[in-house]
Amino acid sequence: MTARRPKAEIFEVGPRDGLQNQSRILGVEAREHFILSLLDAGLRDIEVGSFVREDRIPQLAGTQALLARLDKARSRYKKLSPRFWSFVPNRKGFSDALETSSDGFSFFIAASDTFCLRNVNRSQEDLFQELAQLLPAARKAKRLTRVYLSTVTYCPYEGPIRPAQVLRVVKKLVDLGAKEIALGDTTGHATPRDMERLLTPLLKVAPASRFAMHLHDTRGLSLANVCQSLEMGVSKFDSSAGGLGGCPYAPGAAGNLATEDLVYMLQQQDLLKADIDLAALARASHWLEAQLGSLLPSKVLKTLKG
């Protein structure tokens, strides 16, 4: 790897994408403790909650109250300058999110129309029309934005997704002014060759800095896919502490790429931009294991026991 290659950045999704898939529900106080311990480990970009209906995803109930508590803690983390992100699924969620101090909003769409329908009960076209309004409105309100583009290589309902299909969606998102597009290998099917076939055309329509990779470790290939993405210049990666996660609408999908595994690999090669304290991160995940009453899948976390 050349010295000029940008160092990797991490977007922590555990408190949202991870916890929403757990059967045990944590209260606002426990989630705040977890998030503060992630800040203590040096993680700066954290997706802390979601403005979904609380009866639909009770695991993330009270996101508004959580953000108010986190806002009070900001002064303790001046140097880190944390960015608390929220998932915004629709217009109602958007107006609720605007009332909070959430620094960034993340939105959803999928390359597969069937996945859009099954996941949020909306067509892809409907989601595009909403994004055309919400992305500029978020920018006007001085919030950071990103769009999750799910099922970029494989859809649990439609099967393999062609790169041309993803390219069509990415072009539209770029036209709508999407600042960051997080490409989701939702089911963890992708190999490094799939990453290459996916990214080659995308990097002709937008710079690498515009993309993040949202990888799942279902088949143990997420770190290999990180390496391939880095080779191609994409340097932002979503991960979750301990490898928390899954997807209720993607049967068989395992957890997200584990932050500990990603941090270890990047640090050992001097490829990580931020100064992350891996031991502190492991303490946060071990604390969470006790709260959830189950072990998390991260391999590196298991080596850091005790």
Residues of this chain, 134-173, that bind Mg ion according to CB under 5 A? none
Q: Which is nearer to Mg ion, 122 or 216 (CB)?
A: 216
Q: Return d(Cα 261, Cα 252) in angstroms, integer.
A: 21
The nearest distance, CB 250 to Mg ion, in angstroms, is 9
Binding mask 50-79 for Mg ion (x = CB under 5 A): ------------------------------
The nearest distance, CB 42 to Mg ion, in angstroms, is 22
Q: Which is nearer to Mg ion, 143 or 214 (CB)?
A: 214
Q: Return d(Cα 161, Cα 112) in angstroms, integer.
A: 7
Half-sphere exposure of 36 (CA within 13 A, CB side): 17
User: By the 8 A CB rule, do 113 and 126 touch?
Assistant: no
Q: Which is nearer to Mg ion, 256 or 259 (CB)?
A: 256
Kindly state the number of chain residues that form the binding site for Mg ion, as judged by CB under 5 A. Answer: 2
The nearest distance, CB 216 to Mg ion, in angstroms, is 6
Q: Return d(Cα 80, Cα 276) in angstroms, integer.
A: 11
Q: What is the radius of gyration, based on Cα positions, of the chain?
A: 18
User: By the 8 A CB rule, do 146 and 179 touch?
Assistant: yes
CA-to-CA separations, 74 to 71, 279, 305, in angstroms, rounded: 5, 22, 30
Whether 247 is a known active-site residue: answer: yes
How many residues appear in the chain? Answer: 306
| Options 13-21, 46-54, 97-105, 115-123: segment touching Mg ion (CB under 5 A) | 13-21
| Options 10-18, 54-62, 77-85, 163-171: segment touching Mg ion (CB under 5 A) | 10-18
Q: Which is nearer to Mg ion, 86 or 256 (CB)?
A: 256
**Running DSSP on this structure, what letter comes out for residue 81?**
-
The nearest distance, CB 17 to Mg ion, in angstroms, is 4
**Running DSSP on this structure, what letter comes out for residue 82?**
-
The nearest distance, CB 18 to Mg ion, in angstroms, is 8
Written as one letter, the residue type at 36 is L
How far the first Cα of the chain sits from its last, in Å, is 34
12 forms part of the interface with Mg ion (CB under 5 A): no
Q: Which is nearer to Mg ion, 229 or 256 (CB)?
A: 256
3-state secondary structure of 8: strand
**Residue number of the CB atom closest to Mg ion:** 17
The nearest distance, CB 86 to Mg ion, in angstroms, is 15
| Options 17-25, 57-65, 80-88, 150-158: segment touching Mg ion (CB under 5 A) | 17-25
3-state secondary structure of 65: helix
Residues of this chain, 214-273, that bind Mg ion according to CB under 5 A? 256
Work out the number of other CB atoms within 10 angstroms of the CB of residue 164.
8
17 forms part of the interface with Mg ion (CB under 5 A): yes
Bridge partners for 106 per DSSP: 87, 146
Residue of 116, 155, 227, 247 marked active site: 247
Q: Which is nearer to Mg ion, 77 or 157 (CB)?
A: 157
**Running DSSP on this structure, what letter comes out for residue 239?**
E
Q: What residues are annotated to the active site? A: 247
Under the rule (CB under 5 A), what is the footprint of Mg ion?
Answer: 17, 256
